[in-house]
Amino acid sequence: MIRPNMERPTMKRREFLATTTALGALTLVTPGRLLAETPVAGGTLVWGHSETTQNLDMHQTGTASTSRVLQNIHNALVTVNSDMEVVPQLAESYEVSDDGLEYTFRLRAGVMFHDGSTLTSEDVKYSFERCADPETGATNFEVFNDVAGIETPDELTVIVRMTRPNAPFLARLAENGAGVVMPAGSGDIQGTTPVGAGPFRFIRREFGNEVVLERFDDYWDGPAHLERIIAREITEPTVRLTGLRTGELHMINDIPAERVAEVEGDASLQVLTWFPLNFDFLNFNHDLELFQDARVRRAFDLMIDKEMLLQGALWGQGETTASASFPNDAARNTDITQRGQDIAAARALLSEAGHPPGSLNVVFKVTTNYPYHVESAQIIAEWAREAGVNMTIEQLTWADWLSQVWVDRDFQMTMMNFFTIWEPDRLYFSLWHSTGGFNYRNINVPEIDALAEEARGTIDADARNALYRRIQDMVSEEALDVILWFRNGSIGARSEVAGLDTLVHPNGSNLNFHKVWLRS
């Protein structure tokens, strides 16, 4: 395989682990089985999924909760290995021209889709063009902004031609959504009946209740061990934990933060933890005149004691951070720091902006899908009251939050998390570029747009990282959002679940059940 003739834009996982000391990654506490075991085929694993799946179209979905399920249905052209290096998946190999303007992918022969069709270059062309088409509404459409055309000289060869060098292009194809390959013409059914080339095929979904997947025996990388997965959608943490302990569930993700230590001490259960799972931030709607004033945004930032909020809402299961970049990403700006709490300064800034104490009423919308967001909002509301702001909290279901905040952008303030976006282009272009697929806050800063676009065409890694650090500095200085913390990931499982060490994708968010199995 010929590697790209350019510097790789991301750090290696081993470097990340060597310098991340909060928890380390993939810490597995398991009751007594340390010897190698031979996997057993069969069985149905019942997973207590902490969130509710939404649109099942991998191109259109913007939620990590849905992606965790879909990653087992779909494969992409390329992926990343445990060192965060881009490697082939549905492609057998790839080549990049010396000038960075041509990508040639050689596909694996004989790869089967769940509908019985065989993967060809036309499927790749269809998938990429569908993702790039504004009419599709894909969250990762901008990955293809620099693509001039896609050619299919034969059934197993795809050539992507670029209008200019695009340093993060391969890494973006390895992330959620953009590089996924669907059968040509299947777009209309993907939202309700997803069809892919992954280790499990979709059987059914009861919205708000469960998703059922079944082993795909013709999977190109060998069939999975499990016969079936039932993802039960249980957003209440205590109910999930009770189901695990009673045996109703084989595993759960997101152990209640205040009970992680308790579960680790239970000899009948296994606990998998890693850092980080996601970052959380406070959001303002920049379309509103109120939040177009940087003084107002900084005032809300100054109201928050970030460490106290972390302890109160997450029970210390994470670390505060001023940057959304991975803890050891070379693009991380280590010079920026979080604003300390200063209620008096917040009151003064609001008064200066024309909002004396008691005159400002703000609605803070949060989703019950993340109980710790509700707790965070309640704590922040008390600090806001001290600063002279009347804050009302509206608790929304996940579907209502997505509809009101994500789609309609009908909000004043909100809080959200994004799951370990390790690739800096996806992070900074998607979230802070004015046309970014994740820019639901209506942020429009021409200088950030220019920096994000310049970074895409900058092949030199040091120069590119310097551009991303400037974006981080602007986000922090202008309080475009308030970055709060990185949260730890956790999974609890019963003793009969094996292969847990293979479950978490290198990106820290996705769950891959291909090598997981049940002992009995």
Residue 2 belongs to some domain of the structure: no
Residue 443 CA to residue 287 CA, distance in Å, equals 8
Is the C-alpha dihedral spanning 345, 486, 140, 467 positive or negative? positive
Q: Based on the domain organization, do 460 and 511 belong to the same domain?
A: no
Q: Based on the domain organization, do 450 and 502 belong to the same domain?
A: no
pLDDT (average), residues 274-299: 97
Residue 507: pLDDT band (50, 70, 90) is confident
Residue 268 belongs to some domain of the structure: no
What tokens were used for 250?
Answer: 């084989």
CATH number for the domain including 391? 3.10.105.10
Q: Could you tell me which residue, 429 or 17, shows the higher pLDDT? A: 429
Residue 57 belongs to some domain of the structure: yes
Q: Based on the domain organization, do 295 and 388 belong to the same domain?
A: yes
Give the pLDDT confidence of 38-94 residue by residue, as tens digits. 999 999 999 999 988 999 999 999 888 899 999 999 999 999 998 889 999 999 999
Q: Based on the domain organization, do 422 and 402 belong to the same domain?
A: yes
Q: Sort 293 into a burial class: Cβ within 10 Å, 0-12 / 13-18 / 19+.
A: middle
- On the question of pLDDT at 22 being above 60, the answer is no
Q: Based on the domain organization, do 51 and 193 belong to the same domain?
A: yes
Name the pairing type of β-strands 389-396 and 360-367: parallel
CATH number for the domain including 99? 3.90.76.10
Q: Based on the domain organization, do 434 and 503 belong to the same domain?
A: no
- pLDDT at residue 65 in the model: 86
Task: Compute how many other C-beta atoms are within 10 angstroms of the C-beta atom of residue 289.
Answer: 8
- On the question of pLDDT at 102 being above 70, the answer is yes
pLDDT (average), residues 410-430: 93
Q: Measured between alpha carbons, how far is residue 245 from residues 241, 251, 252, 500 in Å?
A: 6, 10, 10, 18
Task: Give residue 480's domain range.
Answer: 277-487
Contact in structure between 368 and 395 (CB atoms under 8 Å): yes
Whether cis (ω within 30° of 0) applies to the bond prior to 194 is no
- On the question of pLDDT at 23 being above 80, the answer is no
Contact in structure between 72 and 199 (CB atoms under 8 Å): yes
Q: What is the DSSP secondary-structure string of 40-99?
A: ----EEEEEESS------TTT---HHHHHHHTTT--BSEEE-TTS-EEESSEEEEEE-TT
Name the pairing type of β-strands 251-253 and 44-49: parallel
What count of Cα atoms within 13 Å lies in the side-chain half-sphere of residue 454?
15
Global pTM reads 0.88
Q: Based on the domain organization, do 44 and 76 belong to the same domain?
A: yes
H or E stretch including 102?
strand 102-107
Task: Compute how many other C-beta atoms are within 10 angstroms of the C-beta atom of residue 224.
Answer: 26
Residue 120 belongs to some domain of the structure: yes
Q: Which of 37, 8, 16, 160 is nearest to 519 (CA)?
A: 37
Contact in structure between 504 and 274 (CB atoms under 8 Å): yes
Give the pLDDT confidence of 335-369 residue by residue, as tens digits. 999 999 999 999 999 999 999 999 999 999 999 98
Residue 216 belongs to some domain of the structure: no
Residue 11 belongs to some domain of the structure: no
Q: Based on the domain organization, do 451 and 513 belong to the same domain?
A: no
Q: What percent of the chain has pLDDT over 70?
A: 94
Q: Based on the domain organization, do 60 and 140 belong to the same domain?
A: yes
Q: Based on the domain organization, do 326 and 453 belong to the same domain?
A: yes
Q: Based on the domain organization, do 155 and 294 belong to the same domain?
A: no
Contact in structure between 496 and 250 (CB atoms under 8 Å): yes
- On the question of pLDDT at 12 being above 60, the answer is no
Q: Total structural domains in the chain?
A: 2
Residue 509 belongs to some domain of the structure: yes
What tokens were used for 309?
Answer: 């909020």
Residue 271 belongs to some domain of the structure: no
Contact in structure between 194 and 61 (CB atoms under 8 Å): no
Residue 398 CA to residue 299 CA, distance in Å, equals 28
- On the question of pLDDT at 8 being above 90, the answer is no
- On the question of pLDDT at 25 being above 90, the answer is no
- pLDDT at residue 2 in the model: 36
Beta strand ranges found along 140-297 (DSSP E) = 147-154, 157-162, 200-206, 210-215, 228-233, 251-253, 269-284
Task: Compute how many other C-beta atoms are within 10 angstroms of the C-beta atom of residue 404.
Answer: 17
Angle at 424 between CA 56 and CA 168, to 5 degrees: 85
Q: Based on the domain organization, do 470 and 512 belong to the same domain?
A: no
